[in-house]
Amino acid sequence: MRATARVYWRLLRAGIRRQSAYRLAAFGGVAANATFGLLKVEVLFATVRAAGGELAGYDVGRMSTYIWLSQALLGSVNLTGRTDIAERIKDGRVAVDFLRPLDVQAAEITTEVGRALFALIPRGIPMLVIGLFVGMAQPGSVAAYPLGAVSLLLAIVISVATAYLVGVAGFWLVETHGVQVFYLVVSGFLAGLFVPIRLFPRWLWVAAQATPFPSMLAYPIDILAGRVGLAGALTLLAAQLAWLAGVGGLGQALTRAGRRHLEVQGG
């Protein structure tokens, strides 16, 4: 057990080191996040003011919190659907992965989580600094910080585990690019990247709740922003754990089915 834990710890550190090598890309990501964030400020602040100063519980300060927290998490939460496993399936390297004494899904997720955690430093912190200057509101309870940190970690793992599902579709599809593009469009919208999901029409809000995407962005933002109390935060955390179990279980089933399919095809 200890040996296995050490292996996954090394995979996590390897993911961190791998992401730290792309410093120029991180700088470009900060510039893109800041630009997009300022555009959201102009549009959403104007929307709140046009609604009389408050819209679905969002005043200017709370909307600023939503904008800059979402921009801070954008580099760490996988809403693109891009994964290494898709490329390894396509070029056949996944056959080597199956020979290793590690769970393929767990190893992939652990490495990607390491990359995501490092991205919080060069891409997340600058967005929070900008948000403080723009008027980001602070949560009313100190409990929002530890609960938000747990929710953020769960959000990262859920996003990586869900993107993994896109990658393993490559066992049956020649090219997964179309699935990835569809995932990119749907996940960003239903996660609340462009507008808070609380601004959705009722039917669309209900539809979004039936997907794991709000667990990747909207839920940790609601907790970190203090929009929900202790009971509400615990409910959101429970929902995230449920989605993680469901997505993780589906990933395990697809990995096993994909391995059988690979062997049947002579892989």
pLDDT tens-digit profile of 241-255?
A: 999 999 999 999 999
Q: Indicate if the pLDDT at residue 16 is higher than 90.
A: no
Find all residues with CB under 8 Å of 197, minimum gap 6, and list them. 190, 191, 205, 208, 214, 218
The average pLDDT across 83-93 equals 87
Copy the structure tokens of residue 215: 């667990």
Start-end of H helices in 169-212:
177-191, 202-209
- Note whether 153 and 241 are within 8 A (CB): no
* Alpha carbon distance 239, 44 (integer Å): 28
Average pLDDT, the chain: 89
pLDDT at 58: 87
Domain boundaries, the chain: 2-261
pLDDT tens-digit profile of 184-220?
A: 999 999 999 999 999 999 999 999 999 999 999 999 9
Which segment, 70-79, 129-138, 231-240, is predicted with the most confidence on average? 231-240
Question: What DSSP character marks residue 121?
Answer: I
Distances (CA, A) of 265 to 92, 124, 171, 218, 262: 12, 44, 10, 41, 5
pLDDT at 3: 60
pTM of the model: 0.92
* Alpha carbon distance 127, 106 (integer Å): 30
Q: If you count them, how many residues does the chain have?
A: 267
Give the 3-state secondary structure of residue 232: helix
pLDDT tens-digit profile of 110-146?
A: 999 999 999 888 888 889 888 888 778 888 788 899 9
pLDDT at 196: 94
The average pLDDT across 80-106 equals 88
The average pLDDT across 15-29 equals 78
Distances (CA, A) of 174 to 91, 168, 177, 263: 11, 11, 9, 16
